[in-house]
Amino acid sequence: MLSKYRWWRDAVIYQVYVRSFLDSTGDGVGDLAGVRAGLPYLKKLGVDGIWLSPFYPSPQHDHGYDVADYCDVDPLFGDLAEFDLLMADARRLGVRVLLDIVPNHCSSEHPWFREALAAEPGSAARARFHFADGRGPEGAEPPNNWHSMFGGPAWTRVGDGQWHLHMFASEQPDWNWRNPEVGAEFDRVLRFWLDRGVDGFRIDVAAGLFKHPALPDSDDPEADARTRDSVNPLAWNQPEVHEVWRHWRAVCEEYTDRDGRERLLVGEVSVPTAREHALYVRPDELHQAFFFDLLSAPWDPGAFRKVISEAMQDIAGTGSTVTWVLNNHDQVRTVTRYGEPATEGSGLGAARARAAALLMLALPGAAYIYQGEELGLPEVVDLPDDVLTDPIFRRTGSRARIRDGCRVPLPWSGQASPFGFTSGAETARPWLPQPSYFAEYATDRALADTRSFWHLYRDGLQLRSSLPQLGEGTLRWLDTPPGVLAFERGDGLVCAVNFGTAPTPAPISGTPLLSSGPCPAGVLPGSTAAWWLADLRTAASQT
């Protein structure tokens, strides 16, 4: 029975991008039954829980992040009965389940938005969203100069001449959270899924929701939309959003008071500094929020030490724990991001990705693993234009920020696509094409090779759960040679990473407990991380 109180503080959660995990029906799209079939694999890996990407009814303009009904399952992925079976199996295996909830925007096919389109300007139906008159002759220009995060203007004109706001795709109208009906509706949504037994929610765009009430022009709209780390301050991080999270926290604690099982709220919070991030995880708000600075840090020991130190000071200082992440469904995979050519199975990028994984698992707090990360999958960078589905590509015509390359369906077995991803015929086509080199990363091959990424993650997770020095707590930096980062955890565990390519003396003399690559006693090879158990006085005297 799952009963560990405050389990989330040092949990390792596996992000399941449902449509790319495992297909049980042969239609080329992953589904909830596929997730259920993969639970034993995830249990064997050693994760504490899973986060499911949106599976709600949706026209799939943004692969489920355009929600038409927050309290059901899209037939593409199954139904509520299948969801209940998934929950039952997860509970039996001791795997917690988080749902992805999307409170900033919905689908243009949501019943309330359809009602708004049919209603008059100024009506109660339109007040649930952001409708406004245009500027210029006959209102032909948008109400302000804001840009969408997906490219282009943040406004679309409707049939009667008004405009509606969408900070993402035009098919994703933003909710107006200044309208109390919106908050009441999300109360209903939260309780619907909590009553079905979920362990919490990952909250999409958690720093969004509220817009400046006057909807004024931005000083630099193009910069605001350039990246998710450079967002429009008039549409992001407004002070009223914190009251929403206080209320949601109270709802979750109401359920915890009933059965002692704590429900988790973890937010996607894109704000410029760790100090602003910390405001979202105060004791009465979100339990945790993803700390993306580690993901975006360049491969440099000074950069890594800076972001880790700031997170430990500002975020952990609130009483929460840091939520570390290196990969997700919106980012280029580490193997490629750290320098790995997409068509090779070994090399610098892979070595750095292995080292970064071991570092992340040694840090105090929680960690999130994106599906395929444990296989060492590279980004698929050569998808042809005619198969791309990302609305960013559709709105901009540019491949610069598209996310399809990290969402290609997982390879499970075999030598050719669909690599066991779908239960259909060998000629079945996954919704995004898998490259032939995915054969080198298939799960069955990874499990059979003790040198694989999978075994590194599995061994790291096993040690993390068994060693009291790891998980929640603090760290102390060690003095190191240039290019090396090292810290102590608890009583005698040392983690060190060599960011350079040449070997250097190890901070601990003995054979490592675990390393990301071959690591002789007393030596830390280039692009390698290792853990040692040692007497702290010995560690200190050797650095």
CA–CA separation, 221 vs 395, rounded Å?
16
Which of these, 203, 265, 266, 206, lies nearest to 238 by C-alpha position?
206
DSSP string computed for 177-245: TTSHHHHHHHHHHHHHHHTTT--EEEETTTT-S---TT-PPPSSHHHHTTBTTB--TTTSS-TTHHHHH
Phi, psi at 14, each rounded to 5°? -100, 120
Assess contact for 327 and 366: CB atoms under 8 A.
no
Active site residue 379: no
Output Rg (C-alpha) for the chain, integer angstroms: 23
The amino acid present at 449, given as its one-letter code, is D
Cα–Cα distance measured from residue 293 to residue 485, given in angstroms and rounded to the nearest whole number: 17
CA distances from 282 to 10, 209, 275, 318, 322 (A): 17, 19, 11, 6, 12
Q: Does 66 qualify as catalytic in the annotation?
A: no
Is residue 35 within 8 Å of 83, Cβ to Cβ? no
DSSP-H helix ranges across 46-152: 80-93, 111-118
Degrees to nearest 5, angle at CA 132 with 129 and 171: 50
Q: Which two tokens stand for residue 490?
A: 């608890």
Q: Which residues pair with 16 in a beta bridge?
A: 52
- SS3 for 380-422, per residue? CCCCCHHHCCCHHHHHHCCCCCCCHHHCCCCCCCCCCCCCCCE
In terms of Cα–Cα distance, which of 325, 398, 334, 410 is closest to 368?
325
Write out the two tokens for 34: 């596929």
Neighbouring CB atoms inside 10 A of 452's CB total 19
Closest CA to 223 of 212, 213, 234: 234
Strands 323-325 and 288-291: parallel
User: Tokens standing for 412?
Assistant: 């499970």
* Strand-pair partners of 100: 202
CA distance readout (Å), 280 to 19, 131, 275: 30, 28, 10
Say if residues 515 and 378 touch (Cβ distance below 8 Å).
no
Encoded tokens for 352: 């750095």
> Which residue in 240, 254, 300, 449 is the catalytic one?
254
Which one from 10, 23, 204, 293 is the annotated catalytic residue?
Answer: 204
Q: Compute the half-sphere exposure of residue 75: CA atoms within 13 Å on the CB side of its CA.
A: 0
End-to-end CA distance of the chain: 44
Maximum Cα–Cα distance across the chain: 77
Residues recognised as catalytic? 204, 254
